[in-house]
Amino acid sequence: MKKFALPVVFAALLGLALLAPVGGEAAGVLDKDVILVGTEATYPPFEYRNEKNEVVGYDIDVVEAIAKHLGKKVEIVDMSFDGLIPALMTGKVDLVAAGMTNTEERRKKVNFSSVYYDIENAFVVRADDSSITKLDDLKGKIATVQIGTAQDTFITNTGLPAEIKRFQKNDDALMEIKVGRGDFCVVNLTVANAFLRNNKTFEEDLKIGFRNKIHREGEGIALGLPKGDEALLNAVNGAIETMKNNGEFDSIKKKYQMD
């Protein structure tokens, strides 16, 4: 009897172990009542803090509307932009809504929803600077950019600037141009317009030198989602399609003066 007791017990435990992952794999974000949404709230009009220190913006309204379609609530987690994808990959957040472009490099690490906002980028210079009007003019200049963004990747890959200064926040990158420690800042066009129109710190001292599309076909702003959770991906994309058709996106864009 003792000879067979250990193998029998081992076999039973092995059977339980083999069954356990099935339940674990079945669980996903949609099993939660509250979805943790990672963002970086210094990117107006996509996400920023209002006078009450609440995180608001275009992305926040979009993700809250999507959550409503899914019968969920959201909890916003504000963190540095370059920490968002690692947080998503390790399960610290369930979704990323941060004006994030679905670049090829990022798609290797996380899933992305359908694109819900097409983007163009601005090259912001001092108001009295007329020397930067096209890409070739960036050669030998000092660039500033928010670290980890698609703009960071783009300007690095051009090899044009003599130096690239990277900042955690766009307003710090823009301030570097204002005080003369950089020549241009590359930033999302909508974000640039928000800073230059509505922020007294920058509106009189900075301008857009030129603008262009720097992304590949099919790239744009999308929600970051965890790899492997196809149920969440399908549900989010379904909500996005509904919102595009029923006018919800148009209403949110109008609210935030999205250009």
Give the CATH number of the domain where residue 154 resides. 3.40.190.10
Contacts of 17 (CB under 8 A, 6+ apart): none
Query: 26: pLDDT confidence band, cut at 50, 70 and 90?
Result: low
For the residues of 164-183, what is the DSSP string, one character each?
Answer: EEEESSHHHHHHHHHTTS-S
Same domain for 60 and 126?
A: no
pTM, rounded to two decimals: 0.73
Query: 12: pLDDT confidence band, cut at 50, 70 and 90?
Result: very low
What pLDDT shows up at residue 137? Answer: 97
Query: How far, in Å, CA of 197 to CA of 185, rounded?
Result: 16
Query: How far, in Å, CA of 112 to CA of 138, rounded?
Result: 31
Q: Which structural domain range is residue 194 located in?
A: 121-212
Q: Assess whether pLDDT exceeds 80 at residue 240.
A: yes
Same domain for 114 and 125?
A: no
Same domain for 91 and 203?
A: no
Task: Name the more confident of 190 and 89.
Answer: 89
Alpha helices in the chain (DSSP H): 2-26, 58-70, 84-89, 104-107, 150-158, 170-178, 189-198, 230-246, 248-255
As for how many domains the chain has, the answer is: 2
Residue finishing a domain among 177, 197, 212: 212
Contacts of 22 (CB under 8 A, 6+ apart): none
